[in-house]
Chain A
């Protein structure tokens, strides 16, 4: 929470940059976060993983006696050795150290580490796996390609922390840098070998939307306090401040009941209907001054939505 607020105000943390330890960490456009972690595999073509091992389901075993039991152990859609990079809501991507290529890219968020990291014992054992969940709109997914055998060598960071990956394909050594571009669903890739350098700008289309790990918070009754908990738990706070300070998205201070200019037409009244739509279908209307397509849709339970409404009303002017 503290780190997020500091980021909004344009100040740095004591360490002079974002940290990887937040439940929903976020870099900025100019200063990305680079994180090695298990990563979700968003139903990619198996042909992309040609240099990976291929797991098989095995029979479950009874742990008391060690005999084989009914059923097979489940497998997981995950990338074991990727690098996740986040430039704030403008671009996130996965660069894989086994295939030595970009696997996928998304916009509007990063990763939700709630199933991965413990939160004072609250979420331990919540999910079968510890893989973080995507937050945002997936717009690029790699396709199988004929390539020489890859070998990852490492990466360097620019002064701003932008990674340049170093790898070999067969005997040839390459570097690759991915950068955000000020346009929806777009990034730039620069691949170099020796003196030769080649830049491509890629613009994709929406593949799928992701809203992190469903907290499914259970409240007996909708309250403003519960609404604040929802606001923090789902990481809304990463983009929307509650005190009027500027963020990646509009501040929620004074939002309820105000008239909002939108990109798609005449200004609209920020009533309950508008706010609910903004949560479940955030890209139906885009607030003026903010890029379209950044926010992921959130599927919240009724009590979570009702509480969030009370919280937003409490921030009205």
Chain B
């Protein structure tokens, strides 16, 4: 009897709230999704990394999707804007291309250069992904090259010898930069300092976000809030910043002078340990206001695990920062997710994978899963708000905090440093579902890890969905 009760109480982790279905591509088509976007009429355009653009009108049954070929021949395209049923814009390796179906036979027949001017050294990491600027233009994130691959003798655009240095390099123009592209296709550098940002997103408030990959000068998986002219920590692209001294090799300059490097760089808004949280960030995406779970928060697919990160942002002292945990972890979720779009009605999530295909996630019920809804910073700790009423009052023993820092360096990834335990000095109930936690040795510039006891249950005796949270405390409220 005890065993039976036990099994009734232990719901499988995350399995319950969502149904996950595979949306198959036609037989023989490799499911290597470069990017996807919904056209205004609700049809879904997908550009595959081998060059074909497919489109289909979504149907309820996954097997009923009828894919059509809209355009073909793109080079490792990683961004797509579906302007209409007849027109898409695709960011491919060498340029940003507009493909139009002029004779309305369902197939694009005109491929026009919409924007060009960045360089290409012949390296497969030199892909670019896009988000709109809200005014008919775009922001593009351009990947730096990897020294696992060579450089072509003849490059597209000017070659920079100092830019060629390093593990991830920017030997040609604007590699590792985020560019602004106006509605006429004119390009200007917007900000600097990226390794391989495989996702850029403008949210409903107009704020711009980009992720990046752990590696050289990337301690763990970061999410950055982008602002004009700023440097986001990977030095290679600085050779394309006119403010940087000519002929000065950025990685050399910063390798032995981390103090100057730390002053120059803008910190990630959120840092995600790559093993515990997110191994290979795809594109960030704000959850629409009418989606039943965690509306207004942000999702970040993990290209290296069967999981999606959930990000809780807030503005502190005028700067965005915040917490992360998982939105979903499931064996039904395929690995390799890097593209994400909500259906036009905001009720379903589409995930595009690097090799594995396309999946659709639908909430099974409107009710919010039992979890920490928000984790907000206070001057001496955090305020925790749960998504449902608790079965009993929260106790100090239900929570444990520790903190550490990350220093990015030349090396591939960084381990946590200066680890310390943060003892809870006080726990106060501040609302029906909210508690304020005061911590000892609380200070800015650290990442706080919160572990929650799995015994914390909702009033319906459902155990908490996530037990691990990280908060990036670049700022502490004054």
Write the A281-299 contact mask toward B (1 if CB under 8 angstroms, else 0).
Answer: 0000000000000000000
Closest chain A residue to B410 by CB distance?
A66
Given A53-B159, A80-B121: A20 and B412 interface contact (C-beta under 8 Å): no
- Interface residues of A, Cβ cutoff 8 Å to B: 2-3, 14-17, 19-21, 33-38, 41, 46, 49, 52-56, 58, 61, 63-66, 73-81, 83, 97-98, 117-118, 128-131, 152-159
B27, B95, B122, B251 — most chain A CB neighbours (10 Å): B122
- Interface contact A61-B155, CB-CB below 8 Å: no
Task: Name which residue of chain B comes closest to A3, CB basis.
Answer: B28
Q: Which residue of B lies closest to A19 (CB)?
A: B52
B89 within 8 A of A: no
Q: What are the residues of chain A within 8 A of B150 when measuring CB–CB?
A: 73-76, 128-129
Q: How far is the CA of A15 from the CA of B29 in the complex (A)?
A: 11
Binds A, one of B70-78, B238-246, B324-332, B384-392: B70-78
Chain B residue contacts of A117, Cβ below 8 A: 30, 50
| Interface pair A154/B110, CB less than 8 Å apart | yes
Identify B111's interface contact among A56, A118, A156, CB under 8 A.
A156
Are A37 and B75 in contact, CB atoms less than 8 angstroms apart? yes
Taking the nearest CB of chain A, how far is it from the CB of B149, in angstroms? 6
Residues of B within 8 A of A (CB): 26-30, 48, 50-52, 68-69, 72-75, 92-95, 97-98, 102-103, 108-113, 116, 119-122, 124, 147, 149-159, 161, 164-167, 171-172, 216, 251, 255, 355, 410-412
Given contacts A21-B52, A36-B94, A75-B152, contact A56 B164 (CB under 8 A): yes
Question: What are 24 residue pairs bridging A and B, where the CB atoms are less than 8 Å apart in the complex?
Answer: A15-B26, A16-B69, A19-B69, A35-B51, A36-B51, A36-B75, A36-B93, A53-B155, A55-B155, A61-B147, A61-B165, A61-B167, A63-B411, A65-B411, A66-B167, A73-B147, A80-B93, A80-B120, A80-B122, A118-B355, A153-B112, A154-B111, A155-B110, A156-B111
Residues in chain B near residue A49, CB distance under 8 A: 153-154
Q: Find chain B residues with CB under 8 A from A77 CB.
A: 152-153
Contact B30 A21 (CB under 8 A): yes
Answer whether A53 and B157 are a contact pair too, CB < 8 Å, given A38-B122, A74-B150, A128-B149: yes
Query: Smallest CB–CB gap between A160 and chain B, Å?
Result: 11
Alpha-carbon distance A74/B150, docked complex (angstroms): 6
Q: Once bound together, how far apart are the Cα atoms of A19 and B93, in whole Å?
A: 19
Min distance, Cβ A210 to any Cβ of chain B, angstroms:
18
Chain B residues lying within 8 Å of A35, measured Cβ to Cβ, are: 51, 72-73, 75
**A66-B255 in contact given A53-B155, A54-B154, A81-B93 (Cβ < 8 Å):** yes
Distance of A191 Cα from B150 Cα, bound (Å): 35
CB distance from B28 to the nearest CB of A (A): 5
Q: Which residue of B lies closest to A17 (CB)?
A: B69
Question: Contact at B147–A76, with CB atoms within 8 Å?
Answer: no
Question: How distant is the Cα of A37 from the Cα of B93 in the complex, in angstroms?
Answer: 8
Q: Is the CB of B165 within 8 A of A80?
A: no
Give the CA-CA distance A106 to B360 in the complex, in Å: 44
Q: By the criterion CB–CB under 8 Å, are A56 and B161 in contact?
A: yes
Given the contacts A35-B73, A58-B161, A79 and B152 also touching, CB distance less than 8 Å: yes
Q: Which residues of B contact A97 (CB under 8 A)?
A: 94-95
| Residue pair A53, B119 in contact (C-beta under 8 Å) | yes
Question: How far is A225 from B250 in the complex, measured between Cα atoms in Å?
Answer: 55
Q: Which residue of B lies closest to A38 (CB)?
A: B122
Cross-chain contact B165 with A36 (CB below 8 angstroms): no
On whether A55 and B154 interact (CB within 8 A), knowing A15-B68, A20-B72, A76-B122, the answer reads: yes
Contact indicator B411/A64 (Cβ below 8 Å):
yes
Structural contact, A55 and B159, CB atoms closer than 8 A: yes
Q: Which residue of B lies closest to A152 (CB)?
A: B113
Contact of A81 among B29, B94, B164, B411 (CB under 8 A): B94
Known contacts A33-B72, A117-B50; 5 additional CB pairs below 8 A are A19-B28, A36-B94, A97-B94, A153-B113, A157-B111
Residue contact A34 to B72, C-beta cutoff 8 Å: yes
A59 and B149 alpha carbons, distance in the complex (Å): 14
Q: A155 vs B161: C-alpha distance in the bound complex, in angstroms? A: 33
Contacts of B75 in A (CB 8 A): 35-38
CB nearest to B73 among chain A residues: A34
What B residues does A98 contact at CB under 8 A?
Answer: 156
Bound CA–CA A52/B173 (angstroms): 12
Query: Is B26 in contact with A14, judged by CB distance below 8 angstroms?
Result: yes
The listed residue (A21, A38, A66, A152) touching B51 by CB distance below 8 A is: A21
A21 touches B48 (CB 8 A): yes
Chain A residues contacting B108 (CB-CB under 8 Å) are 157
- Cα distance A156–B101 when bound, in Å? 10
A152 and B109 alpha carbons, distance in the complex (Å): 17
Q: Is the CB of A129 within 8 A of B172?
A: no
CB distance from A113 to the nearest CB of B (A): 8
Set of chain A residues within 8 Å of B120, measured between Cβ atoms? 80-81
Shortest CB-to-CB span from A186 to chain B, Å, is: 24
Closest Cβ of chain B to A173, distance in Å, is: 13
Compute how far the CA of A103 lies from the CA of B74 in the bound complex, rounded to whole angstroms. 19
Q: Which residue of B lies closest to A66 (CB)?
A: B410
- Tell me the nearest residue of chain B to A121, going by C-beta: B355
Contact flag A75-B151 (CB < 8 Å), given A20-B52, A81-B120, A154-B111: yes
Q: A307 to B382: give the CA distance in the assembly, Å.
A: 69
B94 to chain A: closest residue by CB: A81
Contacts A20-B50, A21-B52 given; does A54 touch B155 at CB 8 Å:
yes
Closest 9 CB pairs of A and B: A36-B75, A53-B159, A81-B94, A66-B410, A53-B155, A15-B69, A52-B154, A154-B112, A76-B150
The interface residues of chain A lying within 8 Å CB-to-CB of B410 are 65-66
Residues of B within 8 A of A17 (CB): 69, 72
Residue from A3, A14, A55, A76 in contact with B171 in the complex, judged by beta carbons closer than 8 Å = A55
Report Cα–Cα, A98/B69, bound state, in Å: 28
Which residues of chain B are within 8 angstroms of A76 by Cβ–Cβ distance?
122, 150-153
Q: A16-B69, A17-B69, A61-B165 are in contact. Are A55 and B151 (CB under 8 A)?
A: yes
A64 to B412, CA, bound (A): 8
Report Cα–Cα, A169/B447, bound state, in Å.
Answer: 56
Contacts A63-B412, A78-B122, A80-B120; A55 near B152 (Cβ below 8 A): yes
Q: A2-B27, A21-B30 are in contact. Are A79 and B154 (CB under 8 A)?
A: yes
Name the contact of A154 in the complex, choosing from B102, B113, B172 (C-beta under 8 A): B113
With a 10 A CB-CB cut-off, give which of A16, A41, A80, A83 has the most chain B CB atoms.
Answer: A80
| B194 CB, min distance to chain A CBs, angstroms | 19
Determine the chain B residues whose CB is within 8 A of the CB of A152 once the complex forms.
95, 113, 116
B158 cross-chain contacts in A, Cβ below 8 A = 53
> Measured between C-beta atoms, what is the minimum distance from A99 to chain B in Å?
9
